[in-house]
Chains A and B, each alone.
Chain A
Amino acid sequence: MGKKVIVIDDSQTVRQQVGRALSEAGFEMIEAVDGKDGLIAIRNTADLAMAICDVNMPGMNGLDMLEALSSSGSKLPVLMLTTEGQSELIARAKKWGAKGWIVKPFKPEMLVAAVKKLTAA
């Protein structure tokens, strides 16, 4: 079985797109619909290789989730999904330890390359 990756996004379409691109590349996908959901899933899943997280979500958004994760001492690599032009949000994501970000709409091959590299370590 491949490495486990969790995708956290309130849009089902995005979760599907990400899921499809990564499962074709051999990763095992887990989904969560918002930050809180994501935190629970991360805590309960063993051997999680990395997380992909949308910045804008209702409820607990991606940045708050990232903050919570890093405060709890998690070393899980997180890749953010964002839309164009949200520089302040990305600056905050950087501060809270996000490994990188990808702008939506994303190219599948870019996402796969990023995930492969981040889970290679």
Chain B
Amino acid sequence: MKFFSYIVLPKEISDFERGYLRRVNRIALAFFALHIPVYTAIAWFNDTRPALAFGLTLLVFLGPLVASRALQNPRSVSLVFGITAMAMGGLLVNFGRGPMTIEMHFYFFVLLALLSVFGNPLPIVVAAVTVTLHHAVFWALFPEAVFNYEASLGAVALHATFVALESAAACFVARSFFDNVIGLDRIVQARTLALDLRNLELSLILDNVGQGLLTVDRAANVPAERSAILGSWFGAPVPGETLFSWVSRVDASAGAWLEVSWDSAFDDILPVEVTLDQFPKRLRAGKRHLELEYRPIFSGKAVDKLLVVVSDVSDRVERDEAELLQRELLAAFQRVLSDRLGFLDFLDEAARLVAAVSNSTLTHVERLRALHTLKGNLAIFGIGGLAKHCHDLESAVHENDEALDPATCAELERLWQAFTGRLARILEASPDGVLNIARSEYDALRVALRDGKLDNMQVLSRLDRWLWEPVEKRLQQMGDQAKGLAKRLGKGEVEVQIAAANVRVTGKRWAPFWSAMVHIIRNSVDHAFENEAERQKGAGTKTPKLELSAEERDGAVVIIVRDNGRGIDWEAVRSRAESLGLAARTRADLEQALFADGLSTKREVSDVSGRGVGMAAVLRECQALGGRITIESSSAGTMFRFTIPDRPTVRPSSASSSPLRTGVFDRA
């Protein structure tokens, strides 16, 4: 019965309703208590037995008084008030009898309306029923108590109609009050519960997602709703801590950058995509690499909050770094296999350059040049990671001169050490523990043994030789240098022929000599061969050729460098020598002069030659090995022959104190 469930409220009384009804019931009690003196006064003024008025009013008042003490259910107390109200109405009509009897009836209608304050249709219904019964009974028994004139049935019916209408309206108001005000509390509770549930689900998501999510407003306080994982990355935030100070715990510069840029995302001066693009994107949290993304959350047109997404990309970064290292190592390995000597030379030079960069006694310009060269060399040899580090360092120095501070240099050295450390294994992979022997060497020994041509000592000596360094590699290096140089100087393609005949020499002793030989190569390529311009002028069309050979003769090793260029210009040598105050009479003089410090027939000093220092180094190293130089030169070409004794019995240290110029040069 929908009518029934409308009039009668659902059983459950919420705390809100209880509290409300307690208040209202108390007010109602006070209201009716006031009736006692008021009715007594009215009766006294009206001369309608005030004592009786006092007594009856008090009696009626006792009803709700007792009810409010005795009844537990506050709604029941409200019901009693409904009856009380009507009873009071009757009393007023009675004791207010006189010229305004009709007007006294207004009380009923006022109270009927007021009863809706209980938020309950039932007191109103009860009141309406009460008043109807009251009227029925009194009209039947004491008509003059109700009406002060002969009331027709129509008049009564009219009264009843008004009562009914008003009761219905009041019930509507009361029920609406219950549903929407008292009931509101229940609705709010239900909604809050639903919200809590949703927050719980959200927390579950936030805490189980691998990324750190949080929404932050302009004030940048760390919100309570955030992914749990952020706590493990940054530590638990202090209440009221800003995002900046939280981030600064692990990465101070990123935190500072975030703080200084933060407002710009909310102020609409630059487009928000631009401002967010300037925010820090990477963080270091201890060993972790964290990546940050920002998304604006709008409220209307303005940015209200930022969604910050923090991701742990350590794995990816590690993988990228490992891949880079692998590639470097691979490049190094390839080099070591194909050109071990060249690679070792590169390592030596690079180590020197690293030291130069850190060397604060050098000028800033010199250190920068060392850095630049180092970068270039590293790039050539495929050491990408270190090359990039140098490149970044160069850029930093370009922006800010202070960048070459001790800490940065120490970092560079550390990285270099790490690199050479990794290389140690590679270098061992083609170690000196493994011998490289040409097939022809092996065959030669075998045949000699088979034919009984060698005694034990000779066999031993041959085997020992296999420990020595093959000259062929060095000659190849020189050939490569020649080719590269020729290209750079515009001399065209140089044909290089190498004939090394499995000659081997003791490694360490000869190293400085090979270093110096580069000057002979440079000289040949630079002086002997024509460049493009000269070739066009002259008629010479012969292909530049360079022969590099090594042979063993009479217990000595002979290295020959022969080119088919235009030959040494002895006249130029003579005039240069004379201007330097050197002896320039005989051919021998001139040959000596050729190797003197400071001599160069080149007018300009180029990066390549012309300084006059290189040839002197050649002479020095050849002497150091106890060797002699022979020069042959004509318009058909130039030949340098280096005859160097290289038996194990020769003690290297004595060579440096060998007699100076005499005896070094042989006439061909």
* A and B together in one complex: yes
Is A29's beta carbon under 8 Å from chain B?
no
Instruction: Give B250-273 interface residues, CB cut-off 8 Å to A.
Output: 253, 256-257, 259-261, 264, 269-271, 273
Asked if residues A102 and B271 are in contact (CB atoms below 8 Å), the reply is no
Asked if residues B270 and A118 are in contact (CB atoms below 8 Å), the reply is yes
Is A117's beta carbon under 8 Å from chain B?
yes
- With A56-B399, A103-B278, A107-B277 as contacts: A114 and B271 at CB distance below 8 Å: yes
Complex formed: what's the CA distance from A114 to B271 in Å?
6
A108-121 vs B, CB cutoff 8 Å, 1 = contact: the mask equals 00100110011000
Complex formed: what's the CA distance from A99 to B256 in Å?
19
Chain A residue, CB-CB nearest to B258: A87
Asked if residues A90 and B271 are in contact (CB atoms below 8 Å), the reply is no
Asked if residues B273 and A87 are in contact (CB atoms below 8 Å), the reply is no
Complex formed: what's the CA distance from A84 to B269 in Å?
21
Complex formed: what's the CA distance from A85 to B275 in Å?
15
**Least distance between A115 CB and chain B CB atoms (Å):** 10
Q: Which chain A positions have C-beta within 8 A of B275?
A: 100
Instruction: Give A81-114 interface residues, CB cut-off 8 Å to B.
Output: 83-85, 87-88, 90-91, 94, 99-103, 107, 110, 113-114
- With A100-B274, A100-B275, A114-B274 as contacts: A87 and B256 at CB distance below 8 Å: yes
Is B649's beta carbon under 8 Å from chain A?
no
Q: Which chain A positions have C-beta within 8 A of B256?
A: 87-88
Chain B residue, CB-CB nearest to A110: B274
Q: Which chain A positions have C-beta within 8 A of B399?
A: 56, 83
Q: Which residue, of A85, A94, A114, has the highest number of chain B Cβ atoms within 10 A? A: A114
Interface bracket on A? 20 to 34
The contact sample of 25 A-B pairs, CB cut-off 8 A, is A56-B399, A56-B400, A79-B270, A83-B399, A85-B253, A87-B259, A88-B256, A90-B257, A90-B260, A90-B261, A99-B269, A99-B270, A100-B264, A100-B274, A101-B261, A101-B278, A102-B274, A102-B278, A103-B278, A110-B274, A110-B277, A114-B271, A114-B274, A117-B269, A117-B270
Q: Which chain B positions have C-beta within 8 A of A99?
A: 269-270
Q: Which chain A positions have C-beta within 8 A of B269?
A: 99-100, 117-118
Asked if residues A87 and B257 are in contact (CB atoms below 8 Å), the reply is yes
A51-87 vs B, CB cutoff 8 Å, 1 = contact: the mask equals 0000010000000000000000000000100011101
**Least distance between A14 CB and chain B CB atoms (Å):** 11
Shortest 5 CB-CB contacts between residues of A and residues of B: A87-B256, A100-B270, A87-B260, A114-B274, A87-B257
**Least distance between B253 CB and chain A CB atoms (Å):** 5
Complex formed: what's the CA distance from A85 to B66 in Å?
80
Instruction: Give A9-62 interface residues, CB cut-off 8 Å to B.
Output: 56
Complex formed: what's the CA distance from A61 to B1 in Å?
87
Q: Which chain B positions have C-beta within 8 A of A102?
A: 274, 278
Q: How many A-B residue pairs have CB under 8 A?
A: 47
Chain A residue, CB-CB nearest to B257: A87
Chain B residue, CB-CB nearest to A93: B260
Asked if residues B274 and A91 are in contact (CB atoms below 8 Å), the reply is no
Q: Which residue, of B256, B259, B270, has the highest number of chain A Cβ atoms within 10 A? A: B270
- Told that A101-B261, A110-B277, A114-B271 touch, could you supply 16 new A-B pairs with CB distance under 8 A? A56-B399, A56-B400, A79-B270, A87-B257, A87-B259, A87-B260, A90-B260, A100-B264, A100-B269, A100-B274, A100-B278, A101-B278, A113-B271, A113-B274, A117-B270, A118-B269
Q: Which chain B positions have C-beta within 8 A of A107?
A: 277
Q: Which chain B positions have C-beta within 8 A of A113?
A: 271, 273-274
* Residues of B that sit less than 8 Å from A by CB: 253, 256-257, 259-261, 264, 269-271, 273-275, 277-278, 399-400
Complex formed: what's the CA distance from A102 to B260 in Å?
13
Query: Which of A56, A83, A87, A114 is B253 in contact with, Cβ under 8 Å?
Result: A87
Query: Which of A56, A85, A117 is B257 in contact with, Cβ under 8 Å?
Result: A85
**Least distance between A18 CB and chain B CB atoms (Å):** 14
Q: Which chain A positions have C-beta within 8 A of B273?
A: 110, 113
Complex formed: what's the CA distance from A83 to B280 in Å?
12
Complex formed: what's the CA distance from A56 to B278 in Å?
17
Chain B residue, CB-CB nearest to A83: B399
Query: Which of A85, A103, A117 is B271 in contact with, Cβ under 8 Å?
Result: A117
Chain B residue, CB-CB nearest to A57: B399
**Least distance between A118 CB and chain B CB atoms (Å):** 7
Q: Which chain A positions have C-beta within 8 A of B261?
A: 90, 101
Query: Which of A87, A90, A94, A114 is B270 in contact with, Cβ under 8 Å?
Result: A114
Q: Which chain A positions have C-beta within 8 A of B277?
A: 107, 110
Q: Which chain A positions have C-beta within 8 A of B260?
A: 87, 90-91, 94
Q: Which chain A positions have C-beta within 8 A of B264?
A: 100
Q: Which chain B positions have C-beta within 8 A of A79?
A: 270
Complex formed: what's the CA distance from A59 to B259 in Å?
29
Complex formed: what's the CA distance from A94 to B253 in Å?
18
**Least distance between A3 CB and chain B CB atoms (Å):** 16
Complex formed: what's the CA distance from A88 to B256 in Å?
8
Complex formed: what's the CA distance from A90 to B260 in Å?
7
Complex formed: what's the CA distance from A87 to B248 in Å?
13
**Least distance between B457 CB and chain A CB atoms (Å):** 70
Chain B residue, CB-CB nearest to A92: B260
Q: Which chain B positions have C-beta within 8 A of A118?
A: 269-270
Q: Which chain A positions have C-beta within 8 A of B274?
A: 100, 102, 110, 113-114, 117
Complex formed: what's the CA distance from A39 to B340 in Å?
58
**Least distance between B398 CB and chain A CB atoms (Å):** 8
Complex formed: what's the CA distance from A5 to B44 in Å?
97
Complex formed: what's the CA distance from A107 to B277 in Å?
9
Complex formed: what's the CA distance from A79 to B260 in Å?
15
Complex formed: what's the CA distance from A8 to B256 in Å?
26
Complex formed: what's the CA distance from A21 to B264 in Å?
23
Q: Which chain A positions have C-beta within 8 A of B259?
A: 87
Q: Which chain B positions have C-beta within 8 A of A117?
A: 269-271, 274
Complex formed: what's the CA distance from A91 to B256 in Å?
10
Complex formed: what's the CA distance from A91 to B278 in Å?
14
Complex formed: what's the CA distance from A90 to B279 in Å?
12
**Least distance between B661 CB and chain A CB atoms (Å):** 54
**Least distance between A120 CB and chain B CB atoms (Å):** 10
Q: Which chain B positions have C-beta within 8 A of A83?
A: 399
Q: Which chain A positions have C-beta within 8 A of B257?
A: 84-85, 87, 90
Chain A residue, CB-CB nearest to B264: A100
Q: Which chain A positions have C-beta within 8 A of B278?
A: 100-103
**Least distance between A111 CB and chain B CB atoms (Å):** 8
Complex formed: what's the CA distance from A101 to B277 in Å?
10
**Least distance between B659 CB and chain A CB atoms (Å):** 58
Q: Which chain B positions have C-beta within 8 A of A56?
A: 399-400
Complex formed: what's the CA distance from A45 to B232 in Å?
56
**Least distance between A104 CB and chain B CB atoms (Å):** 9
Chain B residue, CB-CB nearest to A100: B270
Q: Which chain B positions have C-beta within 8 A of A110?
A: 273-274, 277
Q: Which chain B positions have C-beta within 8 A of A114?
A: 270-271, 274
